[in-house]
A = this chain, B = another copy of it.
Amino acid sequence: MRSHTCGELGSQHVGQMVELCGWAQNVRVLSDTLVFVKLRDAYGSVQLLTEHRRMPGFAEQKRQLELLSTDTLISVKGKVAMRPGDTAKGKSSTRDIEILVERVQILNQAKPLPFNPHVKANMPNEEVRLAHRYLDLRRPELQRNIRVRSKATMAIRQFMDDHGFVDIETPLLFKSTPEGAREFLVPTRASPGACYALPQSPQQFKQILMAAGFDRYYQIARCFRDEDLRADRQPEFTQVDMEMSFVTKEDIQQVMERLIQHVWSTVKNIQIDAPFRRMSFAEATRRFGSDKPDTRFGLEIVQIPQLSSETNIVAEALLITGGANIFSAKELTPFLELLRSNWGATGLTNITLLSRWLTNNGSSAGQEPTDRLKEILALLSAKSGDLLFVSERLSHITPANTTLGRLRTLAAKLLQEKGELIIPEDRFEFLWIEDFPLFTCEADSLQSQLSATHHPFTAPVSEDLPLLYSDPAKVRGQHYDLVLNGVELGGGSMRVHDPDVQQYIFEKVLHLSPRVRDSFSHLVAALGHGCPPHGGIALGLDRLIAVLTNSLSLRDVIAFPKSADGRDLFMHSPASASTARLENYGLQVCKNLPISTKEHK
């Protein structure tokens, strides 16, 4: 139907007769004898020049062209010619040429568009755009994002294939687990209430594959999570999933580092240095108040002498040099709001905004700082005009992000907006966070019940193994997160491969019920029949592409995303299933249950 795409044409085609297909835009009737049209396809756009001398039946064609609605699909035949010198704009070679049209044919007349995806100024809100996703996807930004996604995905596959990884598809009709509250269920006709579940990750399958003797597995895998509807997260997402046998943590990290280098080089033509920096969870928490710190800037948190007399307390301070002069009183509102909303947060006992003391040479409204405060100010070399935040938190509970960690991120954002902090766009600080505690004390547990920090299959750090039997809360896990510029790209771990250790963790550390333990029995059996030492990692592909394309929302890197509350606004999904459809599965809508009052655990 076409001899060329619009985007490939240039001065080298001058004089050739070409046939093109594309969307008509910007019809400009210059005179009774001359009409300009912009013709666009997936690869670029060219100018069409339709003139009465070249076209048989020009009058009729002109009438058609005048009525052409935006994005009507046309096919044209014409000769490539140079554009007059003064209109050529250089660079893109399609701008050097125009098509002297001899025939125009309408392939599909467009009805008036709900919105014009080519006019940035008039873009409707996201809800409207999602409801007409096929138009939204015509926007150059989304065209680029989806193509970058394809390119990056192929680069990943190429790398994994070149390195001997076997691409293995694992089931999406998985097993519903007794405690899998965030799993989607898929009813079956096997018996009423019998369900598959959609997997949150291929974790179990990839471990089983190691037991099966595939020692390098990868998959770009779809995963599912029945999130809280207010969570603004996609219920389905994609991860780059891999697992290796006969390796150490360092082997896996090295493969990942090379993969990242390959992707950045292929997609962005940027060389990334490796090995990446390593940081323990304890250090990340202490210095940055986060398990995914953005290390592109300082603003580090400093440990200070305790203010209160309580035990198990960590006191910390965040100093923004000159901050009190940078931000007006009104501009401090976001900080105060963050403080207010975190006041009662887990582990937070006391936090004070001390800026007023500092704006006025160490005193505020005539009040003198206490000796304790003076000591802190001296320790931090804080001076008049600085902004200082102090926090105390329980030391034995280690939240992923402390209040000061959040304040630090907020401060960086606001300082950037004010031009006081400059972070170059092409600065990529990759970082491994390691040595997480293997188990976390459940905050609301009276018996200090432990739960797995990541998942119950993570192996202990070898030298901590004896602690598993004496003081499991002190055991570090062989888990590692890959962090980039404050974003968690993924995480992985070495897994338990000894069936007895795995059973001990299930039974004696996590105190799983026999029913839950039973649901993992196939995995323990596989470990017990010669499963090699193994480990792996999963990267969030959507997040990775968002980083590569500088997209703010994951919805901008997914072709057909769900809205923030999990709806497909274009297809109108989810939709109510008929009584008959549900009965097919032996199910019916609850008769007496006021579902709206039930809270999802």
CA distance A497 to B73 in the complex (A): 11
Residues of chain B contacted by A184 (CB below 8 angstroms): 173, 186-188, 196
Is the CB–CB distance between B71 and A193 below 8 Å? Answer: no
Is the CB–CB distance between B529 and A71 below 8 Å? Answer: yes
Q: Does A35 contact B (CB under 8 A)?
A: no
Additional pairs, 7, CB under 8 Å, beyond known A23-B213, A157-B157: A1-B533, A184-B187, A188-B566, A194-B574, A194-B575, A196-B573, A586-B593
Is the CB–CB distance between A178 and B578 below 8 Å? Answer: yes
> In the complex, which of the residues B189, B497, B559, B575 contacts A226, with contact meaning CB atoms closer than 8 Å?
B189
Given known pairs A134-B526, A226-B189, A530-B72, the reply for A173 and B595 (CB within 8 Å) is: no
Is the CB–CB distance between B169 and A222 below 8 Å? Answer: yes
Is the CB–CB distance between B589 and A595 below 8 Å? Answer: no
CA distance A137 to B570 in the complex (A): 42
CA distance A178 to B188 in the complex (A): 18
Is the CB–CB distance between B173 and A235 below 8 Å? Answer: yes
- 30 interchain pairs, CB-CB under 8 A: A108-B498, A110-B529, A111-B499, A114-B529, A134-B208, A134-B211, A134-B526, A135-B529, A137-B212, A146-B168, A146-B214, A150-B161, A154-B161, A169-B222, A173-B236, A174-B571, A175-B571, A175-B574, A185-B186, A185-B577, A189-B226, A191-B576, A191-B595, A192-B590, A204-B571, A205-B559, A584-B600, A586-B589, A588-B590, A588-B593
Is the CB–CB distance between A530 and B110 below 8 Å? Answer: yes
Counting chain B CB atoms within 10 Å of each CB, which of A132, A161, A209, A529 scores highest? A529
Residues of chain B contacted by A169 (CB below 8 angstroms): 149, 222, 238, 558-559
CA distance A570 to B211 in the complex (A): 13
Q: Does A475 contact B (CB under 8 A)?
A: no
Is the CB–CB distance between B195 and A577 below 8 Å? Answer: yes
* Chain A contacts with B in 557-600, Cβ cutoff 8 A: 558-560, 562, 565-568, 570-578, 581-591, 593, 595, 598, 600
Residues of chain B contacted by A584 (CB below 8 angstroms): 181, 598, 600
Q: Closest approach, in angstroms, between the C-beta of A456 and any C-beta of chain B? A: 17
Copies in the complex: 2
Given known pairs A170-B560, A236-B173, A595-B586, the reply for A137 and B576 (CB within 8 Å) is: no
Q: Does A511 contact B (CB under 8 A)?
A: no
Q: Does A172 contact B (CB under 8 A)?
A: yes
For A595, the closest partner residue in chain B by CB is B586
Is the CB–CB distance between B236 and A574 below 8 Å? Answer: no
CA distance A410 to B72 in the complex (A): 54
CA distance A41 to B530 in the complex (A): 12
* Chain A residues bordering chain B, tally (CB within 8 A): 124
Q: Closest approach, in angstroms, between the C-beta of A414 and any C-beta of chain B? A: 36
Residues of chain B contacted by A187 (CB below 8 angstroms): 184-185, 187, 577
Is the CB–CB distance between A137 and B213 below 8 Å? Answer: yes
For A69, the closest partner residue in chain B by CB is B530
For A24, the closest partner residue in chain B by CB is B530
* Chain A contacts with B in 40-97, Cβ cutoff 8 A: 41-42, 71-73
Residues of chain B contacted by A441 (CB below 8 angstroms): none
For A531, the closest partner residue in chain B by CB is B108
* Chain A contacts with B in 130-148, Cβ cutoff 8 A: 132-135, 137-138, 143, 146-147
CA distance A591 to B582 in the complex (A): 13
Lowest 4 CB-CB distances: which A-B pairs, in order?
A: A137-B212, A175-B573, A110-B530, A71-B530
CA distance A191 to B161 in the complex (A): 44
Q: Does A166 contact B (CB under 8 A)?
A: yes
Q: Does A198 contact B (CB under 8 A)?
A: yes
Q: Closest approach, in angstroms, between the C-beta of A560 and any C-beta of chain B? A: 5
Q: Does A512 contact B (CB under 8 A)?
A: no
Q: Does A107 contact B (CB under 8 A)?
A: yes
Q: Does A190 contact B (CB under 8 A)?
A: yes
Given known pairs A133-B212, A175-B575, A212-B137, the reply for A530 and B590 (CB within 8 Å) is: no
Residues of chain B contacted by A385 (CB below 8 angstroms): none
Q: Does A405 contact B (CB under 8 A)?
A: no
CA distance A577 to B577 in the complex (A): 19
Residues of chain B contacted by A158 (CB below 8 angstroms): 158
Q: Does A246 contact B (CB under 8 A)?
A: yes
For A498, the closest partner residue in chain B by CB is B108
Residues of chain B contacted by A186 (CB below 8 angstroms): 184-186, 198, 574
Residues of chain B contacted by A336 (CB below 8 angstroms): none
CA distance A522 to B185 in the complex (A): 27
Is the CB–CB distance between B138 and A213 below 8 Å? Answer: yes
Q: Does A2 contact B (CB under 8 A)?
A: yes
Is the CB–CB distance between A42 and B574 below 8 Å? Answer: no
Residues of chain B contacted by A570 (CB below 8 angstroms): 208, 522
Is the CB–CB distance between A188 and B587 below 8 Å? Answer: no
Q: Closest approach, in angstroms, between the C-beta of A462 and any C-beta of chain B? A: 13
Q: Does A248 contact B (CB under 8 A)?
A: yes
Is the CB–CB distance between A589 and B590 below 8 Å? Answer: no
CA distance A584 to B184 in the complex (A): 11
Residues of chain B contacted by A189 (CB below 8 angstroms): 226, 229, 600
Residues of chain B contacted by A204 (CB below 8 angstroms): 571
CA distance A181 to B176 in the complex (A): 23
Is the CB–CB distance between B211 and A21 below 8 Å? Answer: no
Q: Does A113 contact B (CB under 8 A)?
A: yes
Q: Does A224 contact B (CB under 8 A)?
A: yes
